[in-house]
Amino acid sequence: MSEQITVERAAVTLDEDYCSNCSTCTSLCPFEAVRRDPDTGQTFLDIEKCQVCGLCYSTCPAKAIDTLYYDVDSLTRYLEKAKQEYDSDILVIVCKGSAPDFAGVEKLFGVEKFIPLSVPCVGRVPEEIFLKALAMGINGMYVLACDTDYCRFERGSAVTSRKIKGLNLLLEQLGYGKESITLKRHSLKVKADTDLCISCGNCVFYCPYDAAKLESPGVVSFDLAACRGCGLCVAMCPAIALDLENWESERISALISRLSSEMQSPKILVFRCQWAVFPPLNGEEPPPNIRFIDIPCASRVDISHILEAFQQGIDGVLIAACSEEDCKQERVSGKTQHSVALLKDKLSQLGLQDRLHFCTAAPRYPEEFDKELKQFSQKIEAVGAKEVK
């Protein structure tokens, strides 16, 4: 095999010609990806450390930083299109990390009809988008961010509050009244059905945050302030006693069967960690045989959901997770990789091993995931639909 050197297109770039070395980005970057060179004093971007949270992009006063995801242009285009589509003058921006379903949003803000905008971290939305939305005739603006302590990008949620505070003051001075933008917080949490708990202690072992407690004698209890809603305990519970708020097993099952029914053969279902792959806002429709389920963390992928997909007629299941280093939780993606490998072993006894694939991806190189998906779909197309022997 010849070694190929390919230059991947990075999702975030810094143009040194525009940069005034003001330090806004270096002080905000949660991952020390933008730094100042101690010798030259020049600000530079270390893309390998970048998690594409977009904080630097949305706060750079010199517009020296550019991003492929959710930039001002694509957000504006989305708003223009979505305003027609949803026929509403209310905008709800939610962070993917904390987002409940639409019914949940309705309950939290008391709004029925709205334009939904779901982004990985609300902190990435530049101020001018709010102003553009107002100019487009949008009257009500609601923002749902993660609780500050649970922000997957550490500082994104805090930056969001500061931005909205500033914007609200500005808008008040401009005569729009007080609190034009409403900010609320929400986080995913585990739910336990203690009637089903068998006190095995698996959740205590797997929880990276010491949120699960088991006293003897007794059943499990969770310290919800410590729970970060990764869903690993849910996937690992042998008693089916746990669930993840807003990502309940039943909801995922319903999603699998709905997606399967609308797909063409050979059907490929992709479970994507929403921090590993950022779907483009104004992207093309996926091919008719490929559908995505964007989950809050790869660790929420349950073996029984993968099997359910195969049972529902899916021909190939791809799981895209962050690498352990990039994992927004405590390196839990490796646990999922292990579970998937064990399942693959079982599936090999049925001759289905090639139909399940685990890959890692990071939004910093968008083409990486596209390549994985292309390879996998070529493989599934080559083996075709599952056949009855």
Q: How far is the CB of 212 from other proteins (least distance, A)?
A: 15
Q: How far is the CB of 350 from other proteins (least distance, A)?
A: 5
Q: How far apart are CA 65 and CA 31, in angstroms?
A: 16
Q: Which is nearer to other proteins, 178 or 389 (CB)?
A: 389
Q: Which is nearer to other proteins, 95 or 352 (CB)?
A: 352
Q: Which is nearer to other proteins, 62 or 204 (CB)?
A: 204
Q: Where are the beta strands (DSSP E) in the chain?
A: 12-14, 34-36, 43-45, 65-67, 90-95, 115-119, 140-145, 181-185, 190-192, 212-214, 220-222, 242-244, 268-273, 290-295, 316-321, 356-360
Instruction: Check residue 12 and report its DSSP letter.
Output: E
Rule CB under 8 A: which residues touch other proteins? 196, 198, 200, 202, 205, 236-240, 303-304, 307-308, 310-311, 338, 346-347, 349-352, 386-389
Cα of 20 vs its chain's centroid, Å: 32
Q: How far apart are CA 285 and CA 355, in angstroms?
A: 23
The backbone torsions φ and ψ at residue 235, rounded to the nearest 5 degrees and listed phi first, read -70, -30
Q: How far is the CB of 311 from other proteins (least distance, A)?
A: 6
Q: How far is the CB of 302 from other proteins (least distance, A)?
A: 9
- What CA–CA distances, in Å, run from 145 to 48, 77, 97? 26, 22, 8
Q: How far is the CB of 389 from other proteins (least distance, A)?
A: 6
Instruction: Check residue 273 and report its DSSP letter.
Output: E
Q: Which is nearer to other proteins, 141 or 347 (CB)?
A: 347
Q: Which is nearer to other proteins, 339 or 377 (CB)?
A: 339
Q: How far is the CB of 313 from other proteins (least distance, A)?
A: 9
Nearest to 264, CA basis, from 314, 309, 308: 314
Q: Are 116 and 94 in contact (CB under 8 A)?
A: yes
CB atoms within 10 A of CB 128: 13
Q: How far is the CB of 376 from other proteins (least distance, A)?
A: 20
Q: How far apart are CA 210 and CA 204, in angstroms?
A: 7
Q: Which is nearer to other proteins, 42 or 348 (CB)?
A: 348
Q: Which is nearer to other proteins, 11 or 252 (CB)?
A: 252
Q: How far is the CB of 200 from other proteins (least distance, A)?
A: 5
Token pair for residue 26?
Answer: 């270096």
Q: How far apart are CA 336 and CA 355, in angstroms?
A: 17
